[in-house]
Chains A and B, each alone.
Chain A
Amino acid sequence: GENVEQHPSTLSVQEGDSAVIKCTYSDSASNYFPWYKQELGKRPQLIIDIRSNVGEKKDQRIAVTLNKTAKHFSLHITETQPEDSAVYFCAASEGNNNDMRFGAGTRLTVKP
């Protein structure tokens, strides 16, 4: 089955700096890669996703890149703000929610 590894486990940046979180996956059949943000004590919420027919997707200050050959994808947050502080999870699946596998999460802290 799919195995997703996520790095780093913790990340601390200064407000205004960029943050990058990386994930690798094992199943070459995976074609859907969402990213979730989870604030302390809250539910995970989808912030961006990418499908295998696209190499990069951007939504304001966040972007995701996908390298299918290397089987890795990354989340980029630019101009970080304190409200970006949260745990971020990546995931990968072959196209069905029941085969989705999540990374262990990255705790991002943005210092004002």
Chain B
Amino acid sequence: NAGVTQTPKFQVLKTGQSMTLQCAQDMNHEYMSWYRQDPGMGLRLIHYSVGAGITDQGEVPNGYNVSRSTTEDFPLRLLSAAPSQTSVYFCASSYSQREGRQETQYFGPGTRLLVL
């Protein structure tokens, strides 16, 4: 299994440009999520999905859109990039909560985004 994969690894955008960060997993996980990681702030949840066709907002959703048309893929779209969105983005996946126990999240390798 490849686990969680992300593309691209690195991207430079100009302010106002749009782009899509790709995330895919081959572990048949129902739950997928997007985080951003900024220096001194840990990981913050942007959006998440508990299954195909279902998405919801996390802690910092503004400026980002997501969709979940398949179990495997969970792309993150930046509609109009801003310098404040310069960050490292991680996708993660897990099984949905089973038997009342929280499931381990597995992270992708990350996408480093620079917005000029």
Are A93 and B102 neighbours in the complex by a CB distance under 8 Å? yes
Cross-chain contact B108 with A97 (CB below 8 angstroms) = no
Question: A43 interface residue, CB < 8 Å from B?
Answer: yes
When A and B form their complex, which 9 residue pairs have the shortest distance between CB atoms, in order from nearest? A102-B42, A43-B107, A102-B43, A32-B102, A98-B48, A104-B42, A44-B107, A95-B102, A43-B109
A50 to chain B, nearest CB (A): 11
In Å, the complex CA distance between A58 and B90 comes to 28
Please name all residues of chain B whose beta carbon is closer than 8 Å to the beta carbon of A49 when the two chains form the complex.
104
A45-B107 CB under 8 A given contacts A97-B94, A102-B44, A104-B40: yes
A-B contact sample (17 more), CB < 8 A, given A43-B90, A89-B43, A105-B40: A6-B42, A43-B110, A44-B107, A45-B107, A51-B101, A95-B97, A95-B102, A97-B31, A97-B92, A97-B102, A98-B50, A100-B45, A100-B105, A103-B42, A104-B40, A104-B41, A104-B42
Chain B residues, Cβ within 8 Å of A95: 97, 100, 102
Number of A-B contacts defined by CB within 8 Å: 57
- Least Cβ–Cβ distance between B68 and chain A, in angstroms: 13
B51 within 8 A of A: no
Interface size of A by Cβ–Cβ distance < 8 Å?
Answer: 26
Which of chain B's residues have a CB closer than 8 A to the CB of A54? none
Please, how many angstroms separate the alpha-carbon atoms of A97 and B95 in the complex?
Answer: 10
Chain B contacts to A: CB under 8 angstroms: 31, 33, 40-45, 48, 50, 56, 58-59, 90, 92, 94, 97, 100-105, 107-110
- Give the contacting residue for A42; candidates B59, B94, B104, B109; CB below 8 A: B109
Q: Is A96 an interface residue (CB 8 A)?
A: yes
